[in-house]
Every structure is written in structure tokens, then in C-alpha cells.
């Protein structure tokens, strides 16, 4: 069946900070191998403990601007004097290899991907059982200031309003169950009719 595919597929995962997206993906990665996790490209200096190609794709300002002119970014922005963007070139390469391209992005990013790559995109919104549970998780991990936590909670109230734009909705109350649900979504994304070469399928079907 895979030889009938036009290209790979895209999975967009969104949800408030603290809902456990990273933990879910770690579980899912145990069962899939042909995937590419979309990493942002940036012109900022690499920091201690970071690795090129893992945390970010670190490039020069000249290289980034050349890719802007060539239309090689799905989206990009300049923040505090540095460029950040999602490389369309890397995504395209992964899709040509028929990989599952995974995005962990916010609701605005989801809209951009849908606008440009809708036919091959499947999206999942992930959240906690309640706002109180989200607040408890953000507080208990003790990595952010109260101001940052309050901003994350404020943003989550806006993000939850967008769930109808997504194909699937997962409540991450049980990591094992939620990871199985996410894995099922990924498996289903591989067999969307919009991914297949229609003419090739019909020709092959009629000739057998």
C-alpha cells in the first residue's frame, strides 16, 4: 500500500503548556520510527546544553534571509533581533521520504499549517481534564514564575475555545490511555484518502 502514497502525512499536536504533550510523544515514539519532528530554525546563538538539529536548527542570518527570499519557510518571525521559523524545505524533504511529520505548535500555528498543507494534515488537541488540573501541573513542576504560570493559564482559556478546528480531541488524564489514543490517530492519518495517488489506485484496481 505504501507505494501508492503520494507523500507522507502531517500530525499537528496542540494544547496548553502543562497538558503533557512531550510525555505523550515520548510514549508514541516507542512504536513509530519513520517520523520527523519539526524543529524550528533560528539565527540565535546556540546555548550551553543545546544541540544543533535537536533543540533548533541553528543557521546564520544570511542563510535564513536567503531561505526567506526563496520561500522556504512555512512561517517565520523576528524576535529580539533573531529570526525563528519553520523550514518548509525540511518538511518537504521528510514528506518526500513518506515520513510522518509531527508538529507541536499552538493554535495559530495550526491555522497556518491547515491553510498551506490541509490535505495531508491531521490535527489533535490535547488538554487536561480541567483548568484546575492544568494549574496544579504547572505549579507542581516548579519551572516557571507565578507570572509565567498565570500567562499560561490565561492562554489556555483562549486555546480551549479552538478545539472544533481540530480533527481529534484527547484528554490526557491517563498517560497510557492517552498515548494509545494518539498512536491510533497517527495510524489513521496514514490512510486518509487525500494522501493517495487516486489515478494509480484506480489503474491498479482495474488491472487486477
| In the chain, domain spans | 2-34+99-207, 39-97
What's the DSSP call for residue 11? E
User: How far is CA 169 from its chain centroid?
Assistant: 15
Residue 2, pLDDT above cutoff 60: no
The count of other CB atoms within 10 Å of the CB of residue 91 is 22
Q: Domain 39-97 belongs to what topology?
A: Guanylate Kinase phosphate binding domain (3.30.63)
Q: What's the pLDDT at 3? A: 59
What's the predicted TM-score (pTM) here? 0.84
- Tell the CATH superfamily of the 2-34+99-207 domain: P-loop containing nucleotide triphosphate hydrolases (3.40.50.300)
Rounded distance, CA 16 to CA 35, Å? Answer: 23
Bridge partner residues of 86 (DSSP) = 75
Q: What is the pLDDT of residues 94-106, one digit of tens each?
A: 999 999 999 988 8
The residue ranges of DSSP E strands in the chain, in sequence order, are: 9-14, 35-37, 41-42, 57-58, 73-79, 82-87, 100-104, 121-127, 168-171
Q: What is the pLDDT of residues 9-61, one digit of tens each?
A: 999 999 998 899 989 999 999 999 899 999 989 999 888 888 998 888 999 99
Two domains, one topology: 2-34+99-207 and 39-97: no
Amino acid at each position: 500500500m505504501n507505494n501508492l502514497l503520494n507523500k507522507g502525512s502531517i500530525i499537528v499536536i496542540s494544547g496548553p503548556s502543562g497538558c503533557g504533550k512531550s510525555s505523550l510523544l515520548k510514549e508514541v515514539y516507542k512504536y513509530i520510527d519513520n517520523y520527523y519532528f519539526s524543529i524550528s530554525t533560528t539565527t540565535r546563538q546556540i546555548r550551553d546544553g543545546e544541540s544543533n538539529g535537536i533543540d533548533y536548527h541553528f543557521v546564520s542570518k544570511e542563510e535564513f534571509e536567503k531561505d526567506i527570499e526563496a520561500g522556504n519557510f512555512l512561517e517565520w518571525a523576528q524576535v529580539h533581533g533573531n529570526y525563528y521559523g519553520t523550514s518548509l524545505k525540511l518538511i518537504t524533504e521528510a514528506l518526500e521520504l513518506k515520513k510522518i511529520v509531527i508538529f507541536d505548535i499552538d493554535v495559530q500555528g495550526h491555522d497556518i499549517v491547515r491553510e498551506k498543507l490541509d490535505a495531508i494534515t491531521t490535527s489533535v488537541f490535547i488538554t487536561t481534564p480541567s483548568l484546575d488540573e492544568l494549574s496544579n501541573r504547572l505549579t507542581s513542576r516548579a519551572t516557571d514564575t507565578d507570572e509565567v504560570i498565570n500567562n499560561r493559564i490565561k492562554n489556555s482559556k483562549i486555546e480551549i475555545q479552538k478545539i472544533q478546528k481540530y480533527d481529534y480531541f484527547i484528554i490526557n488524564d491517563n498517560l497510557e490511555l492517552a498515548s494509545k489514543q494518539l498512536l491510533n490517530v497517527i495510524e489513521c492519518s496514514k490512510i486518509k484518502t487525500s494522501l493517495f495517488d487516486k489515478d494509480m489506485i484506480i489503474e491498479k484496481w482495474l488491472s487486477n
